């Protein structure tokens, strides 16, 4: 809970939050109000976290302190001149503080708030997506457990009517984990998971099919023919024998490949002694395949089972942290991360730290920011190998939070050193690639501004919005709006619009509707504020360029909308396809009466226009296809069933391939879907029949 702080209060209980809100008219010559300065003086000498805000309420900086009183006061007591930190301090209009019990709690809370609020003067790592896992569904029964321990042999007779629940499935998974399944990972990429699944198929012949497919098979599929599956769906393997394969697969994933090899060899010899040569031959082939895999990955067979290798590179105001993963003793690959606000955050690195004997490098600060933010949501392995030192306090805080004793090695030897050198090389290459791409993108932005003579002083602030219409013969019409700013596409600001109330297939009417919906409120706010966009809407602004995918017809429609709204016609530019609709021959059509312009096939400006136009087309067509699919599969039937919301409906459609597949499934099959109880499964079955 956020409460107003009392200037006279000197102590605060753990977890308490204090806030100061300033009025512009109370600002003194120093640039800060007397109220803010008195609140700073009244802060308690306790550990905690503080947040600075500007006059618009945007968060500037989040920091932690052993003593809030000393740390926060240092910002206002010291002279910073015209430095970046001085610029930040000059913008402080309000602050919030939270008192905690220890420095470790302050550190964890600080990084939680950094990830949540995204302050401009902090090093910020954004996770674009969650990590993928390899998933083994279900938990085997007692017989399967005995088979995993090797206490019972596989019976000779196969099952007559196998049920999918007795045969765990290996699959790719991304999302929250559940206790009823077993998960291995995380993996750095989807490719790494799929490679692991392919290994599970080659070595242990585990099934990958959905339960609905499993229950309806009458003969083995192609995977059985190419020896990638043991065909449990038609009873070609018993439940206990399959459980042994699952147990061996789990041992392999945990790094016990040598133990798996020994068990397979013992089983092979046992079958040979009983003159069961066919079964012995199958195990012989499995042993050979596993031995081949181990030989190929011999470099990874080290004592370390689960390790993360972190290498950092800082150059040109940008940074890259390359994360390489070792799981079960196998190197799974790596993944680069590029933090935001490095250049601004560097200014306050030294200001916001407790006194240390030696200065800490920028690389170390970037690496510490990654460790603190990344492992808030991702399981941390017991060993970290880093290219820069990490403070013991951070490691202790992570260990206390996760309950896992974490060790960090800064100057590794032997195999760890080889891993770190590979990670460092990848960090260097990834950062060089990023800097090259950004340089190219900035050149394109500059070329577009010059080619169209746009009145833009700051290239970073150039904002382009592009619109496109997509439908299939008038069905499921969707309009898209994509945004380009800061030399990159801003996917968080993309918007889709469902177009209704028009003649199917009328692209002009669709464009009129989407532009009206997009800019009518902004135009009204601009009129009320006398044309000052910053006063009109703090969180929105009129773009510097509005691109529409189309020629004279679409531009004429956009012109009508802008005339009606009283907006500047010079903002509108149509992208008209050239002769034969060939890429590179596009011409630009203007709404303010200027002649069409052909920039040239090799023009950097045209490359940027085509990039934005193609992204708008992609975003529109994917939305249209999703909307069309919802209509064609009759998704409304599921939405009408009580208890079936969007998430459960999506899971049902994904599992069974559409409403028709859901209708063909039994209540037992429906109950196997995540989030569907037995009672709800019966309700769905009755509703669809």
Assigned token pair, 87: 């610029």
What per-residue confidence (pLDDT) applies to 530?
Answer: 63
User: Over pLDDT 90: what percentage of the chain?
Assistant: 12
pLDDT tens column, 85-124: 777 888 888 888 889 888 888 888 888 888 888 888 888 8
Q: Tally helices (H) and strands (E) across the chain.
A: 24, 20
* DSSP H or E segment with residue 308: strand 307-315
Chain position carrying tokens 């209980």: 13
Q: What angle do CA 229, 234, 240 make, to 5 degrees?
A: 70
Cα 658 → chain centroid: 27
> Which residue(s) pair with 50 in the sheet?
63, 97
CA atoms within 13 A on the CB side of 196: 32
Please give the backbone phi and psi of residue 51, each rounded to the nearest 5 degrees, phi first: -130, 130
Burial category of 461 from C-beta neighbours within 10 Å (exposed 0-12, middle 13-18, buried 19 and up)? exposed
What CA–CA distance (Å, rounded) separates 343 from 444? 23
Cα 106 → chain centroid: 26
Tell me how far CA of residue 28 lies from CA of 35, 55, 288, 346, 659, in angstroms: 10, 14, 80, 29, 66
More confident residue, 138 or 549: 549
What CA–CA distance (Å, rounded) separates 182 from 133? 10
pLDDT tens column, 571-592: 999 998 877 667 777 889 999 8
Position 152 confidence tier, pLDDT thresholds 50, 70, 90: very low
- The answer to whether the CB of 73 falls within 8 A of the CB of 39 is no
> Which residue(s) pair with 488 in the sheet?
485
Instruction: Reply yes or no on whether the pLDDT at 399 is more than 90.
Output: no
Tell me how far CA of residue 112 lies from CA of 49, 104, 362, 373, 496, in angstroms: 11, 13, 21, 7, 31
Minimum mean pLDDT range among 221-225, 266-270, 528-532 = 528-532
Position 277 confidence tier, pLDDT thresholds 50, 70, 90: confident
What per-residue confidence (pLDDT) applies to 85?
Answer: 76
What CA–CA distance (Å, rounded) separates 346 from 366? 9
- Cα-Cα-Cα-Cα torsion 336, 339, 343, 347, nearest 10 degrees, comes to -120
3-class state of residue 378 by DSSP: coil
Tell me how far CA of residue 490 lies from CA of 431, 493, 494, 507, in angstroms: 20, 6, 7, 25
Chain position carrying tokens 């603190």: 372
Assigned token pair, 333: 């690959």
pLDDT tens column, 23-49: 444 333 346 777 788 888 888 888 899
* DSSP H or E segment with residue 196: helix 190-204
Tell me how far CA of residue 589 lies from CA of 64, 454, 548, in angstroms: 54, 15, 10
More confident residue, 412 or 299: 412
Tell me how far CA of residue 395 lies from CA of 82, 91, 398, 447, in angstroms: 35, 33, 5, 48
What CA–CA distance (Å, rounded) separates 643 from 633? 20
- The answer to whether the CB of 103 falls within 8 A of the CB of 47 is yes
Report all structural domains of the chain as residue ranges with CATH numbers, in order of start.
3-117 (3.40.1440.10), 132-300 (no CATH), 307-338+350-432 (3.30.420), 459-612 (3.30.420.340), 633-688 (1.10.150.20)
- The answer to whether the CB of 359 falls within 8 A of the CB of 350 is yes
What per-residue confidence (pLDDT) applies to 70?
Answer: 86
What per-residue confidence (pLDDT) applies to 296?
Answer: 45
CA atoms within 13 A on the CB side of 245: 30
CA atoms within 13 A on the CB side of 610: 19
What does the DSSP 8-state code read for residue 499? -
Over range 600-619, report the average pLDDT.
89
Chain position carrying tokens 């596409």: 489
Tell me how far CA of residue 231 lies from CA of 85, 169, 224, 268, 655, in angstroms: 65, 12, 6, 20, 20
Burial category of 87 from C-beta neighbours within 10 Å (exposed 0-12, middle 13-18, buried 19 and up)? middle
Task: Name which of 463, 514, 468, 484 is nearest 616 in CA terms.
Answer: 468
Tell me how far CA of residue 663 lies from CA of 66, 212, 686, 687, in angstroms: 61, 12, 10, 9
Over range 497-516, report the average pLDDT.
90
Contacts of 278 by beta carbon, 8 Å cutoff, 6+ apart: none
pLDDT tens column, 440-492: 888 889 889 888 888 887 888 899 999 999 988 777 788 999 999 988 899 88
What CA–CA distance (Å, rounded) separates 57 from 94? 8
What does the DSSP 8-state code read for residue 353? S
What CA–CA distance (Å, rounded) separates 144 from 142? 5
> Which residue(s) pair with 326 in the sheet?
307, 331
What per-residue confidence (pLDDT) applies to 572?
Answer: 92
What does the DSSP 8-state code read for residue 138? S
Mode of pairing for the β-strands spanning 572-576 and 545-549: parallel
- Cβ atoms within 10 Å of 129's Cβ, excluding its own: 7
> Which residue(s) pair with 96 in the sheet?
19, 51
More confident residue, 485 or 638: 485
Contacts of 498 by beta carbon, 8 Å cutoff, 6+ apart: 477, 478, 627
- The answer to whether the CB of 163 falls within 8 A of the CB of 234 is no
Q: Across all residues in the chain, what is the average pLDDT? A: 78
- The answer to whether the CB of 323 falls within 8 A of the CB of 375 is no
What per-residue confidence (pLDDT) applies to 497?
Answer: 92
pLDDT tens column, 303-340: 667 889 999 998 877 889 999 888 877 778 888 988 88
Please give the backbone phi and psi of residue 412, each rounded to the nearest 5 degrees, phi first: -75, 170
- Cα-Cα-Cα-Cα torsion 600, 604, 605, 608, nearest 10 degrees, comes to 120
């Amino acid at each position: 809970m956020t409460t107003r702080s009392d200037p006279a209060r000197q102590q605060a209980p753990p977890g308490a939050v204090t806030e100061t809100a300033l009025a512009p008219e109370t600002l003194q010559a120093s640039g800060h109000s007397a109220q803010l300065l008195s609140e700073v003086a009244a802060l308690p000498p306790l550990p905690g976290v503080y947040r600075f805000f500007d006059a618009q309420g945007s968060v500037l900086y989040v920091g932690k302190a052993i003593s809030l009183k000393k740390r926060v006061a240092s910002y206002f007591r010291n002279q910073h001149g015209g430095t970046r930190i001085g610029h930040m301090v000059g913008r402080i209009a309000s602050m919030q503080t939270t008192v905690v019990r220890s420095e470790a709690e302050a550190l964890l809370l600080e990084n939680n708030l950094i990830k949540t609020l995204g302050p401009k003067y902090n090093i910020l790592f954004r996770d674009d997506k969650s990590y993928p896992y390899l998933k083994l569904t279900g938990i085997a029964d007692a017989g399967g457990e005995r088979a995993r321990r090797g206490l019972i042999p596989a019976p000779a007779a196969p099952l007559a009517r196998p049920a999918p629940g007795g045969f765990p499935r290996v699959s790719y998974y991304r999302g929250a984990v559940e206790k009823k399944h077993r998960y291995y990972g995380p993996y750095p990429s989807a490719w790494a998971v799929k490679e692991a699944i392919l290994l599970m198929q080659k070595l242990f012949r585990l099934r990958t099919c959905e339960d609905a497919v499993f229950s309806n098979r009458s003969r083995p599929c192609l995977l059985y023919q190419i020896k990638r599956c043991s065909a449990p769906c038609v009873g070609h393997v018993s439940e206990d024998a399959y459980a042994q394969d699952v147990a061996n697969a789990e041992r392999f994933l945990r790094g016990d490949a040598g133990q798996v090899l020994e068990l397979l060899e013992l089983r092979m010899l046992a079958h040979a002694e009983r003159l069961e040569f066919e079964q012995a031959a199958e195990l012989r082939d499995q042993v050979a395949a596993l031995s081949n895999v181990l030989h190929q990955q011999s470099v990874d067979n080290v004592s370390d089972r689960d390790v993360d290798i972190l290498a950092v590179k800082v150059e040109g105001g940008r940074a890259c942290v390359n994360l390489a993963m070792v799981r079960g003793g196998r190197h799974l690959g790596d993944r680069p991360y590029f933090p935001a606000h490095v250049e601004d955050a560097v200014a306050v690195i030294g200001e916001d730290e407790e006194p240390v004997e030696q200065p800490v490098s920028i690389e170390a600060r970037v690496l510490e920011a990654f460790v603190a933010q990344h492992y808030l949501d991702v399981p941390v392995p017991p060993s970290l190998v880093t290219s820069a030192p990490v403070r013991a306090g951070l490691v202790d805080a992570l260990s206390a939070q996760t309950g896992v004793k974490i060790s960090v090695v800064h100057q590794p030897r032997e195999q760890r050193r080889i891993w770190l050198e590979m990670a460092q090389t990848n960090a260097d290459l990834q950062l060089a690639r990023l800097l090259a791409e950004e340089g190219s993108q900035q050149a394109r932005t500059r070329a577009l501004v010059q080619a169209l003579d746009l009145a833009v002083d700051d290239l970073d602030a150039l904002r382009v919005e592009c619109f496109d219409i997509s439908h299939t013969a008038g069905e499921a019409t969707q309009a898209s709006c994509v945004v380009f700013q800061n030399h990159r596409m801003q996917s968080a600001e993309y918007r889709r619009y469902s177009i209704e109330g028009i003649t199917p297939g009328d692209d002009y009417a669709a464009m009129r509707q989407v532009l009206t919906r997009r800019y009518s409120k902004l135009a009204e706010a601009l009129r009320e504020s006398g044309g000052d966009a910053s006063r009109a809407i703090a969180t929105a602004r009129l773009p510097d360029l509005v691109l529409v995918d189309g020629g004279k017809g679409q531009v004429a429609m956009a012109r009508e909308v802008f005339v009606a709204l009283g907006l500047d016609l010079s903002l509108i530019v149509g992208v008209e396809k050239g002769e034969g609709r060939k890429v590179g021959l596009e011409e630009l059509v203007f709404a303010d009466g200027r002649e069409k312009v052909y920039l040239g096939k090799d023009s950097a400006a045209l490359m940027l226009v085509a990039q934005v136009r193609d992204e708008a087309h992609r975003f529109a067509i994917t939305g249209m296809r999703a909307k069309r699919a919802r209509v064609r599969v009759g998704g409304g039937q599921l939405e009408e069933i009580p208890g079936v919301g969007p998430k459960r409906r999506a899971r049902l459609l994904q599992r069974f391939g559409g409403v028709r597949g859901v209708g063909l499934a039994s209540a037992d099959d429906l109950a196997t879907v995540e989030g569907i109880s037995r009672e709800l499964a019966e309700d769905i079955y009755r509703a669809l029949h």
